[in-house]
Amino acid sequence: MPRTPALIVALALVASSASAQLPGLRKYTPADRQRQQQQQQPLLTGIDALRADFAAQSGATTVYFGSNSAILAPQAKTFLTAQAAWLRRHPDVVVRVEGYGDSGDTRDHALAMGAARAAESRDFLILLGVPTAQVSTTSWGKERPGLGRAVTVLVQ
């Protein structure tokens, strides 16, 4: 979450008032802080709004795989089914499925596993009626940390 400068200033004042009470400086209450945060919270627009809606409607944008496996588990299929339904309702949105390998794997095998996981997820979306042009894939192999997974990212 990007914090606006105003919020950072406010938090800094809170911090300094807690350690050393400066004369004439009003003490911020938790209620003040909450009000401030609500005011600073920007409304989601454009692709951010679509991303939030996609994540909420799908249940999850990330599906996980067993070690050294590109087989979709039942829960992964549930999430992908919801993703596919959302994508069919939003034919103008383009997504990229990014696959990740296992950290204990060797580099190129991990790259291939990430690609296979992304491809299996994409194939499942297409099977459920999402047009092929709407979904691309890539792989991060084990070059980025985390568990073996496939993440559906809205790109435009």
Partner 1 sequence: MKRIFLPFLLLGLASSAHAQPENPAATVIAVPPLTSPDGGTRGNQMLQIGWDATQLIVADLRQTAEVMPLTPKRDDYYSYPEVTAPTFSKWRSAGAKALVTGFVQSRSDGRLTFGCYVYDVQKGREIARKGFVLTPGEWRRAAHKCSGLAYTAITGAPGIFDTQIAYVAESGVGEGRMRRIAVMDSDGYNHHYVTAGEAMVLSPRLAPKGGQLAYVSFAGGKPNVRILDLGSGQERPLVPATAITFAPRYSPDGSRIAFSMMLGSNSDIFIVGASGGSPRRLTTSPGVDTDPSFSPDGAKIVFESDRGGSQQLYVMNADGTAQRRISFGGGWYASPSWSPDGQWIAFTRRGQDGRRIGIVRPDGTGERLLTSGPGDEGPAWAASSREILFQRADTAGRSGLYRIALDGSEPRQMTIPQDGSNPDWSGVMD
Q: Which of 10, 63, 70, 135 binds partner 1 (CB under 8 A)?
A: 70
Residue of 100, 99, 73, 87 whose CA lies nearest to 132 = 87
The CA distances from residue 133 to 13, 77, 79, 89, 129, in Å, are: 51, 21, 20, 15, 12
Structure tokens given for 2: 């990007």
CB 110 within 8 A of CB 102: yes
Contact characters 74-103, partner 1, x per CB under 8 A: ----------------------x-------
* Site membership for partner 1, residue 67 (CB under 8 A): no
Structure tokens given for 37: 């945060």
| Residues 6 to 45 in contact with partner 1, rule: CB under 8 A | none
Among the residue ranges 18-26, 42-50, 76-84, 104-112, the one whose residues contact partner 1 (CB under 8 A): 104-112
Q: For residues 154 and 156, give the distance between their C-alpha atoms in angstroms, rounded to a whole number.
A: 6
Tell me how far, at minimum, the Cβ of 87 lies from partner 1, in Å. 19
In the complex, the residues that contact partner 1 under the rule CB under 8 A are 68, 70, 96, 104-109, 111-113, 115-117, 119-120, 123, 136-139, 141, 143-145
